[in-house]
């Protein structure tokens, strides 16, 4: 897929040939599998896809992680030259029946420039490899760049408490600095085993409107506990306490996080009133 998208192969031996190759490896559940090569090329023309087109070298970031028997996660990084920073690319693949009894790994989703020190954009469930925001006219707006800077700072520290606080504050003000930004942030910090990582910001927002999740968008006071509880070999539980003004008691939001390629990402949450 990376070689197919590379600028030297993108239109060789014919126009949009790289997109034709990519289509062969997209899982049927990926919305982009129903697009034409030209439509994929149009999506790739957006700013946050450029690392897929202009890379000069790539490297594997950790081993492949199997998520059950039919899903896998692989992290790689790309950069345009030896002096440029690395950009993360996370691939989620699924096993798809292929010629009867054989299975083939195919691409379910790709996330570009996710939570790390170089966060700018990402690719996810509603377009080519699921673009989660529209391109601002003439490039990224100041609000988008500021939001990206906030994400980068949070991810750089890479502690479960910082991730939980960042996600909860983003959800609390989900339409600032632009519509559904808080949902984008929450999705970016979802682990590949978290089904919410496949949602669009619009779908994620619908979940937040459910009564048992509403406290996440209505709290007035937030406290994130200092202590962590082990939840597995590489997983932890991080508790946060929230309360609306006028509430008699705190609500506990317990987040389970795991490390993927050295990054803390959220697997699930439990809300206890």
| Per-domain boundaries in the chain | 1-137, 158-273
Determine contact, residues 180/200, Cβ cutoff 8 Å: no
Give the C-alpha separation, 223 to 221, whole Å: 7
Total Cβ atoms within 10 A of residue 33? 17
Report which of residues 44 and 235 the model is more confident about.
Answer: 235
Which residue is listed with tokens 């170089």? 118
* Cis peptide, bond prior to residue 13, ω within 30 of zero: yes
- Answer yes or no: is pLDDT of 12 > 70: yes
CATH assignment of 158-273?
3.10.450.50
* Best CA proximity match to 167, nearest among 255, 70, 56: 255
pLDDT digits (tens, 9 = 90+) for 98-138: 766 678 999 988 878 654 333 333 333 323 343 333 333 33
Give the C-alpha separation, 147 to 193, whole Å: 25
DSSP per-residue string spanning 156-199:
HH--HHHHHHHHHHHHHTTTSSSTTHHHHHHHHTB-TTSGGGG-
- State residue 100 phi and psi, 5-degree precision: 80, -105
| Domain 1-137 bears CATH identifier 3.10.450 | yes
Give the C-alpha separation, 196 to 190, whole Å: 7
Q: What is the mean pLDDT of residues 179-200?
A: 83
Confidence of residue 222 (pLDDT cuts 50, 70, 90): very high
pTM of full prediction above 0.85: no
DSSP per-residue string spanning 199-259:
--HHHHHHHHTSGGGTHHHH-SEEEE-S--EE-SSSEEEEEEEEE-TT-SS-EEEEEEEEE
Determine contact, residues 196/204, Cβ cutoff 8 Å: yes
Q: Do domains 1-137 and 158-273 have the same CATH topology?
A: yes
To the nearest whole number, what is the mean pLDDT of the chain?
Answer: 80
- Answer yes or no: is pLDDT of 249 > 70: yes
Per-state percent for the chain, helix, strand, coil, to nearest 5: 30, 30, 40
Report which of residues 81 and 192 the model is more confident about.
Answer: 81
Q: How many residues does the structure list for the chain?
A: 273
- State residue 68 phi and psi, 5-degree precision: 80, -155
Q: To which H or E segment does residue 44 belong?
A: helix 37-44
């Amino acid at each position: 897929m990376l070689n197919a998208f590379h600028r030297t192969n993108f239109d060789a031996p014919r126009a949009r040939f790289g997109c034709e190759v990519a289509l062969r490896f997209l899982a049927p559940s990926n919305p982009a599998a129903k697009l034409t090569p030209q439509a994929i090329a149009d999506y790739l023309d957006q700013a946050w896809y450029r690392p897929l087109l202009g890379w000069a070298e790539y490297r594997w970031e950790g081993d492949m992680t199997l998520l059950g028997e039919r899903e896998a996660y692989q992290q790689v990084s790309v950069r345009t030259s030896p002096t440029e920073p690395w950009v993360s690319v996370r691939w989620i693949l699924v096993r798809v029946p292929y010629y009867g009894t054989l299975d083939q790994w195919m691409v379910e989703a790709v996330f570009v420039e996710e939570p790390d020190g170089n966060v700018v954009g990402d690719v996810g469930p509603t377009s080519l490899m699921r673009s989660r925001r529209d391109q601002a006219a003439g490039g990224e707006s100041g609000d988008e760049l500021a939001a990206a800077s906030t994400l980068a700072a949070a991810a750089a520290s890479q502690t479960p408490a910082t991730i939980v606080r960042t996600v909860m504050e983003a959800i609390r003000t989900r339409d600032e600095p632009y519509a559904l930004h808080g949902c984008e942030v929450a999705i970016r910090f979802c682990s590949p085993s978290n089904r919410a990582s496949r949602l669009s910001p619009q779908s994620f927002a619908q979940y937040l409107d459910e009564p048992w999740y509403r406290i996440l968008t209505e709290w007035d006071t937030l406290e994130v506990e200092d202590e962590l509880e082990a939840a597995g070999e590489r997983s932890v539980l991080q508790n946060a306490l929230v309360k609306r003004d006028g509430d008699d008691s705190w609500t506990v939001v317990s987040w389970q996080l795991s490390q993927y390629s050295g990054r803390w990402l959220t697997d699930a949450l439990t809300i206890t009133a």
